[in-house]
């Protein structure tokens, strides 16, 4: 098979999209499936680290927006798609050969290559969109506001027409969550009929996590991790710091600390808030926490940070939006997790974990078992039809 990726999944710059694509690519390689991966990314992220053995990988630089070819392509394609099309990718496809092969297109932003893929005689062409992009950019526009929000809504309208033009050309669509699948079946029934649910792969700990045993009167350790250069993440954490954290700190007499890990975390400071920057040892960070918070308020698809947090088996307090598209998205199906739609509900969730850490830990372990089974590498490849189901 051949994988076309909108991002370098094994570069030094780590994003939610690169992690999602990288985990799937690694699972494909470890399943023994012969595959070439061709990716495009920014010129400063062409290096590769920890790439899977047995997979042949080529990464090309994205064209700059000022290049004439990208400007002309913007007439028919959204900006994120226009700036990912380069003849170098087409030449690489010609060299590795796609005739008769399954071609997995990772990201709607790579859909401009569909005509080339068909011309080269691919056997089956599958699209794995990271989101319904028109929905994602509309949500982004609502969350950030101002000129940036207006620009995002303009991109959303452009994507709406683009999706209706290009999605029918794929043989199959792998949806990231039930939300996207249901949207396609309702709004684009022809595409929805040839779509299936292929969720992201959760990161299960590669070693047993050491259980934290808080001492009496010890500081209650609250943690957040995520890329805070992404607008939805930054907006959600800002809301949490403004509306949730002050009330919680007051009600626990100041004996709590919020540790924030991830790109851009240095911008987030306040009483009892410790920015950590990017952390190399995420498991070590997780082991130091009593609870993880996921205060997302906007977005689309399944959030990797959400299913990863659940897979770690650490007590979690989250908004319902953070678990959208999963089995845990509503309070009555949360299996002991603490979900909330308002700031006061998140405060109560944090207080409940602090009051009974044993019960909270047991509920977290139950959720982790469910997530690891539903979002494990083999289970996801089986859903995609790439390997035979386990007898």
Sequence-distant (6+) residues with CB within 8 A of 50 are 10
What pTM value is reported for the model? 0.85
229 shares a domain with 191: no
pLDDT score, position 95: 96
pLDDT in tens, 277-313: 988 888 889 988 999 999 988 765 567 778 888 888 8
Residue 288: which domain range? Answer: 220-374
Asked whether residue 303 is domain-assigned, the answer is yes
Instruction: Provide the pLDDT for residue 346.
Output: 94
Cβ atoms 282, 261 nearer than 8 A: yes
Q: Taking a C-beta distance cutoff of 8 angstroms, is the pair 175, 380 a contact? A: no
User: Residue 348, SS3?
Assistant: helix
Answer yes or no: do 310 and 361 share one domain. yes
CB within 8 Å of 391: residues ≥ 6 apart: none
Number of folded domains in the chain? 2
Is residue 212, in this structure, part of any structural domain at all? no
- Whether residue 214 lies inside any domain: the answer is no
- CA gap 216, 218 in Å, rounded: 5
The answer for residues whose C-beta is within 8 angstroms of residue 217's C-beta and 6 or more apart is: 255
199, HSE (Cβ side, Cα atoms, 13 Å): 26
Same domain assignment for residues 75 and 15: yes
110-127 pLDDT tens trace: 999 999 999 999 999 999
Q: Which of 3-12, 208-217, 301-310, 350-359 has the highest mean pLDDT?
A: 3-12
Q: Are residues 192 and 225 in the same domain?
A: no
Which tokens belong to 27? 């699972």
Domain assignment present for residue 128? The answer is yes
First-to-last alpha carbon distance for the chain, in angstroms, is 25
User: Do the Cβ atoms of 149 and 165 come closer than 8 Å?
Assistant: no
Is the Cα dihedral 304, 305, 308, 310 positive or negative? negative
Q: DSSP H helical segments within the chain, as ranges? A: 16-30, 68-73, 79-82, 87-96, 114-119, 133-144, 146-166, 178-187, 189-192, 231-239, 245-251, 282-287, 304-312, 343-355, 357-374, 377-384
The CATH number of whichever domain residue 253 belongs to comes to 3.40.50.2000
Are 65 and 45 spatial neighbours (Cβ–Cβ below 8 Å)?
no
Would residue 211 count as lying in a domain? no
- Cβ atoms within 10 Å of 380's Cβ, excluding its own: 22
Residues 41, 60: Cα–Cα separation, whole Å: 7
Is 268 found in the same domain as 135? no
Residues 133 and 12 in one domain: yes
**Domain check: are 153 and 75 in the same one?**
yes
CA 293 to chain centre: 16
d(CA 81, CA 336): 41
Which DSSP category does 144 fall into? H
173 and 231 fall within a common domain: no
The answer to whether residues 33 and 133 belong to one domain is: yes
Instruction: Give which of 106, 301, 294 is closest to 199, Cα–Cα.
Output: 301
| Res 293: pLDDT | 94
DSSP state of 193: T
Tokens for 76? Answer: 């028919």
Which is nearest to 78 in space by CA: 187, 172, 168, 163? 163
Query: Do 19 and 163 belong together in one domain?
Result: yes
Q: Are 324 and 243 in the same domain?
A: yes
Q: Is residue 215 part of a domain?
A: no
In a domain, 327, yes or no: yes
Do 50 and 57 meet the contact criterion of CB atoms below 8 Å apart? no
Indicate if 224 and 195 belong to the same structural domain: no
Q: Give pLDDT tens digits for 189-222.
A: 999 999 999 999 998 777 767 666 665 568 899 9
Element (H, E) at 32: none
Within 8 A by CB and 6+ apart from 232, the residues are: 139, 140, 143, 296, 297, 298, 299
On whether residue 316 sits in a domain, the answer given is yes
- Residues 215-269 pLDDT 10s: 556 889 999 998 888 778 888 999 999 999 999 999 988 889 999 998 899 999 8
């Amino acid at each position: 098979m051949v994988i076309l990726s909108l991002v370098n999944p094994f570069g030094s710059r780590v994003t939610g999209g690169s992690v999602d694509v990288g985990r799937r690519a690694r699972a494909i390689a470890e399943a023994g499936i012969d595959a070439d991966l061709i990716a495009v990314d920014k010129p400063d992220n062409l290096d590769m680290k920890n790439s899977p053995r047995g997979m042949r990988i080529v990464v090309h630089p994205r064209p700059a927006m000022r290049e004439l070819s990208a400007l002309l392509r913007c007439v028919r394609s959204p900006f994120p798609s226009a700036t990912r099309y380069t003849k170098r990718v087409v030449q690489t496809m010609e060299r590795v050969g796609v005739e008769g092969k399954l071609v997995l297109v990772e990201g709607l932003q790579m859909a401009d290559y569909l005509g080339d893929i068909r011309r080269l005689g691919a056997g089956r062409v599958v699209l794995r969109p990271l989101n319904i992009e028109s929905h994602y950019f509309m949500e982004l526009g609502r969350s950030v506001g101002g000129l940036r929000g207006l620009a995002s809504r303009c991109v959303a309208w452009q994507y709406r027409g683009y999706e209706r033009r290009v999605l029918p050309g794929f043989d199959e669509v792998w949806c990231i969550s039930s939300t996207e699948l249901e949207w396609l079946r309702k709004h684009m029934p022809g595409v929805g009929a040839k779509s299936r649910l292929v969720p992201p792969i959760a990161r299960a700990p590669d070693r047993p996590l050491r259980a934290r045993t808080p001492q009496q009167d010890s500081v209650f350790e609250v943690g957040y991790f995520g890329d805070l250069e992404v607008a939805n993440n930054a907006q959600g954490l800002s809301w949490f710091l403004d509306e949730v954290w002050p009330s919680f700190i007051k009600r626990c007499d100041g004996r709590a600390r919020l540790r924030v890990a991830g790109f851009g975390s240095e911008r987030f400071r306040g009483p009892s808030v410790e920015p950590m920057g990017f952390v190399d040892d995420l498991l070590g960070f997780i082991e130091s926490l009593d609870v993880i918070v996921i205060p997302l308020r906007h977005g689309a698809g399944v959030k990797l940070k959400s299913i990863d947090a659940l897979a770690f088996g650490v007590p979690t307090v989250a908004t319902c939006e953070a678990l959208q598209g999963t089995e845990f998205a509503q309070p009555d199906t949360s299996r002991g997790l603490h979900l909330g739609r308002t700031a006061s509900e998140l405060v109560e969730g944090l207080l409940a974990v602090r009051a009974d850490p044993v019960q909270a830990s047991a509920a977290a372990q139950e959720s982790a078992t469910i997530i690891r089974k539903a979002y494990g590498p083999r289970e996801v490849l089986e859903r995609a039809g790439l390997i035979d189901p386990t007898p």
